[in-house]
Structure 1
Amino acid sequence: MIRLSGRLRSSLIIGGQGIRARKLRTFLSMVSLFMGVLAVVVVQAGAEIANRALLADVELSQGKDGTRQMYLNPEGKTVETALDVLAGRTDAVAMTTVQAIIGEPGVKPVNEGGGPVDQPGGYGRNMTCDVNGCYEVPTGNEGAPSGQAVELQLVGLTGDIRSFRPFRVDSGQWLDFGGDPSLAPRLVLNTKAAEAFRRFEVPAEMRLQGSTINATPRFVGVVEDGGYAPAAYVRSDELLNWLGAGDLSSGRNGPGLQVMMSPAASEVEHALRARLVAAGTPEEQIHVNTVNTLERMSTELSLMRWIFLGMAALVLLIGVAGILNVGLATVGERIEEFALRRAVGTPRLLLAGIVLAETLLTGLLTAAAAIGVGVVALQLASGMFGSRYPSLQGIEFPWQAGVAGVVAGLVAGVLGGLVPAVRAARIPIATVMRA
């Protein structure tokens, strides 16, 4: 082992001396290899960034991987029981939904149905569905004139949902679940709702579906939640000041009541299930699933990555051919040197190691240059386009891309230097006599 270590050290030292003696030739080899290694680095970095961005968008709307989701019908005492069980908990959050209209009283909203403001009426008529079928729900706006009002989905929360769905705060602040509930509901708007209220100046009066008294809301912040329609988030206990527990979830937009739990909250899940069944909810109506976005999307992501890595490998092979060409030319010029080394007792393996060490060091230097360019380019892209693309804000260079660049440089060094190394090792000692 010590002898092998000495030969390896000698190969690296002599290989480094060869690189220093032929700087221009080494530089040309690096230039031919640079684009191939950079392509591998860019593809790997792009795949990791795209993977993170895609998962981040899915997490906003569906939840982090491993999150347990329970969907419940809001009939009976379901909502009341869930709110009671989950009150004050941080490992489980209940979400209720109700339609709200903010603006002038007695008028139709500009986006009747709750769709985006640039697509009025995008949701069509108010419909709800149960075991007996689907039917239209009266909204109280029938025959009313159009006016300055915005309809949105109001989501009541029993706790901070950001541990399950990592909303990004754009401005203001997130809901504070400490202290007593306010009679003026504090709302955090999503970006679609904020856009609607920037576009239309409306009075601060909120009509809730199921309530006979209008509330005066307060906007405290704006978040990016991945939604495509106006929505706002509010504390469930503040909604209870204006609605009864039975009216707290309309069931119109997806499940009437949704509970999100951490994987470790098994006791909460069992307790909630038992209380719901005891309150009269049929057990077959309690549906629980686990978010596994990464597993579901891994096949598509891997396929896309391998396709682009294959294209990068083709570019890398061009660089390998350049190193191979330069290496063969170098060995041809150093035949007398290698023959003389053989004459004084240098083993064939050490001669091959000298040539291979030069190409490996060249590959590592090229990989370092490509990784450095990738880091600088990513920082520039983050600074220039971060405001336009939130996924680029504060992003760090993926370590997987750095590893891929080093591996690509080593592989290129081996492939480009193997044939010249074998040729150098086979140079006969008699060559020095002819010289």
Structure 2
Amino acid sequence: MILAYLQMAWASVRGARARSALTMLGVIVCVVSVVTVVGLGEGVKHQLIGQVEAGGSDLITIRGGNVESFRSDGSVGPSDLATVFSRSPLAERDAETLQAIQGVKYTVPFATVSGDVSLADGEKGGDITVIATTENAAAALGHEVISGNFFGPNDANASTAIIGERVAERLFKQNVPIGQSFEFRGRSITVGGVFAPFEFNPLNPGLDYNNAIFIPYGTGSELAGSNLLPFQVLVRPERADSVDELVVEIRNALSETHHGQADFSVLTSEDTIRLADSMIGLLTTFIGIMAAIALLVGGVGIMNVMLASVSERTQEIGVRKSVGATSQQIMAQFFAEAFVLSFVGAVVGILASLLVNYGVRVTTELEPAFDWRVMLGVSLISVVVGSLFGLAPAVKAARKDPIQALRRF
């Protein structure tokens, strides 16, 4: 009996394909948005954990701007996200202050140097970020140079550079980049190495290391012609078990040099993961609200279409009741149509979300994570909500008086 109702419902849905497609749109949007965002969030989190583990769990990150308010309740707000995305600069003396703290093995400042990159023939390199840093940057980032060598302690003012994978492709095409030169701020700089591909970093969303050139910090200072303002300093302690004590000392030291202003953040590896997790959670919550609204709109759409269908099929209802169909059977028929609309919408949403995630994998460095529990859960909720919105039209159809229904025609 149930199968018969579903077959009739499917025939009815196929009979009005355009209207059915528009009706299912809200359900599709709900499933796609939730599944895609959750998958992206989990994928980014896994990538960040891998990056933190590669760099070492004892690494301490100092950033410009205060993003530490999340410590009080374990969450971040929009103002914290704006601070993370803006990459506020630190003071030039901060790296020296940090290096002077007892228990610090080394510090690695990162500062951007503005200017155009071009080849010897005058060809522009386009939008490429140039970052001044020190010889310990590769170790601090937990990243390797796949070709050539990273600059050493004797290269503080050398005209050498390590380039990202995308820079190598854009500047030198099929040529081997090692030993090749490019022009930057009037100086010829030789490529000494190429970094392995970097993954997406949610805490530096506007900075693509694959599209960056790394030069020695001293060279960056000379080329900038003024003080370099690092946007981030990484600190490696001498002992891995001294991280908590060192964090306190770093805060105290920077508070003095910043004259008591809390315009910096000191984050351990655990803090970094928590911050990223909170950011992803905030984004997921926002998208979840939008998806709920889309589902509500989709449910109302199903109800309106079903009400219109009941009015259009008044004669059919009258005929069926006159030949013995019960009110329960009429209600089941229309309820089955609402169920089919919701179910098909959920299935299309799942397929669309898989397609979107595949597109993200192919076109970006992101690796979305699939959670079938989330996928099935949001689909089930969508089907239930859509079916419930079809209940009122089904009840209205069941209450039709067969005599009045036939009299209208």
TM-score bin (small chain) = 0.5 to 0.7
1:411 to partner: Cα distance: 2.8
1:220 to partner: Cα distance: 3.2
1:73 to partner: Cα distance: 1.5
Q: In structure 2, do the counterparts of structure 1 residues 275 and 322 end up closer, same or farther at CA, with 3 Å as the change threshold?
A: same
Number of aligned positions between the proteins = 331
Q: What residue in structure 2 maps to residue 97 of structure 1?
A: 111
Q: Which residues of 2 match residues 334-373 of structure 1 at below 5 A?
A: 334-335=320-321, 353-373=328-348
1:19 to partner: Cα distance: 1.6
Q: Confirm whether residue 118 of structure 1 aligns to residue 133 of structure 2.
A: no
Match of 1:78 among 90, 97, 109: 97
Q: In structure 2, do the counterparts of structure 1 residues 216 and 411 end up closer, same or farther at CA, with 3 Å as the change threshold?
A: same
1:353 to partner: Cα distance: 4.8
Q: Which residues of 2 match residues 188-199 of structure 1 at below 5 A?
A: 189=164, 191=166, 194-198=169-173
Match of 2:391 among 383, 391, 414: 414
CA distance in 2, matches of 1:410, 1:29: 14
Match of 1:42 among 11, 28, 31: 28
CA contact (8 A) 1:41 1:404 kept: no
Q: What residue in structure 1 maps to residue 250 of structure 2?
A: 272
Q: In structure 2, do the counterparts of structure 1 residues 52 and 192 end up closer, same or farther at CA, with 3 Å as the change threshold?
A: farther
Q: In structure 2, do the counterparts of structure 1 residues 316 and 383 end up closer, same or farther at CA, with 3 Å as the change threshold?
A: same
Q: In structure 2, do the counterparts of structure 1 residues 196 and 216 end up closer, same or farther at CA, with 3 Å as the change threshold?
A: closer
CA distance in 2, matches of 1:193, 1:252: 29
Higher relative helix content: 2
The 3-state SS of whatever aligns with 2:130 is strand
Q: In structure 2, do the counterparts of structure 1 residues 355 and 24 end up closer, same or farther at CA, with 3 Å as the change threshold?
A: closer
1:420 to partner: Cα distance: 1.9
Q: What residue in structure 1 maps to residue 11 of structure 2?
A: 27
Residue type matched to 2:397 in 1? Answer: P
CA contact (8 A) 2:299 2:389 kept: no
Q: In structure 2, do the counterparts of structure 1 residues 325 and 392 end up closer, same or farther at CA, with 3 Å as the change threshold?
A: farther
Q: Tell which deviates more after alignment, 66-75 or 32-41.
A: 66-75
1:272 to partner: Cα distance: 1.8
1:54 to partner: Cα distance: 9.0
CA distance in 2, matches of 1:251, 1:309: 55
The 3-state SS of whatever aligns with 1:218 is strand
Q: What residue in structure 2 maps to residue 167 of structure 1?
A: none
CA distance in 2, matches of 1:387, 1:222: 15
Match of 2:349 among 371, 374, 377: 374
Query: What TM-score comes out, normalization by structure 2 length?
Result: 0.54
Q: Which residues of 2 match residues 238-387 of structure 1 at below 5 A?
A: 255-258=230-233, 269-276=247-254, 282-284=259-261, 286-288=263-265, 293=279, 312=298, 315-321=301-307, 323-325=309-311, 328-329=314-315, 331-335=317-321, 353-380=328-355, 387=362
Q: What residue in structure 1 maps to residue 239 of structure 2?
A: none
Residue type matched to 1:73 in 2? Answer: A
1:219 to partner: Cα distance: 0.7
The 3-state SS of whatever aligns with 1:364 is helix
Match of 1:175 among 144, 147, 157: 144
Residue type matched to 1:274 in 2? Answer: N
Structure 1: give runs of 5+ residues left out of the alignment. 1-13, 88-92, 112-116, 120-149, 163-173, 340-350, 428-435
CA distance in 2, matches of 1:255, 1:99: 10
Q: In structure 2, do the counterparts of structure 1 residues 298 and 83 end up closer, same or farther at CA, with 3 Å as the change threshold?
A: farther
CA distance in 1, matches of 2:23, 2:101: 56
Q: In structure 2, do the counterparts of structure 1 residues 360 and 80 end up closer, same or farther at CA, with 3 Å as the change threshold?
A: same
The 3-state SS of whatever aligns with 2:173 is helix
Q: What residue in structure 1 maps to residue 212 of structure 2?
A: 231
1:423 to partner: Cα distance: 3.8
CA contact (8 A) 1:86 1:158 kept: no
CA contact (8 A) 1:154 1:233 kept: yes
Q: Confirm whether residue 220 of structure 1 aligns to residue 234 of structure 2.
A: no
Q: In structure 2, do the counterparts of structure 1 residues 42 and 369 end up closer, same or farther at CA, with 3 Å as the change threshold?
A: closer
1:419 to partner: Cα distance: 0.6
1:35 to partner: Cα distance: 1.8
CA contact (8 A) 1:25 1:326 kept: no
CA distance in 1, matches of 2:332, 2:235: 56
CA RMSD of aligned residues (A): 6.0
1:221 to partner: Cα distance: 1.7
Structure 2: give runs of 5+ residues left out of the alignment. 49-63, 201-205, 237-242, 267-274, 404-409
The 3-state SS of whatever aligns with 2:198 is strand
CA distance in 1, matches of 2:109, 2:100: 13
Residues 179-204 of structure 1, C-alpha deviations (whole Å, 9 max, x = no match): x9874999461635652343998644
Q: What residue in structure 1 maps to residue 269 of structure 2?
A: none
The 3-state SS of whatever aligns with 1:223 is coil
Q: Which residues of 2 match residues 138-217 of structure 1 at below 5 A?
A: 152-155=130-133, 157=137, 174-175=143-144, 183=152, 187=162, 189=164, 191=166, 194-198=169-173, 203-204=179-180, 217=192
CA distance in 1, matches of 2:182, 2:262: 33
Residues 352-401 of structure 1, C-alpha deviations (whole Å, 9 max, x = no match): 55543443333333333333233334445666785346669776786265
Query: What TM-score comes out, normalization by structure 1 length?
Result: 0.51
Q: Which has the larger radius of gyration?
A: 1
CA distance in 1, matches of 2:192, 2:98: 23
1:104 to partner: Cα distance: 10
Residues 218-273 of structure 1, C-alpha deviations (whole Å, 9 max, x = no match): 11323365437952469xxxx6xx859x99x9996764544599xxx866532321
CA distance in 1, matches of 2:302, 2:138: 54
Identity among equivalent positions (%) equals: 10
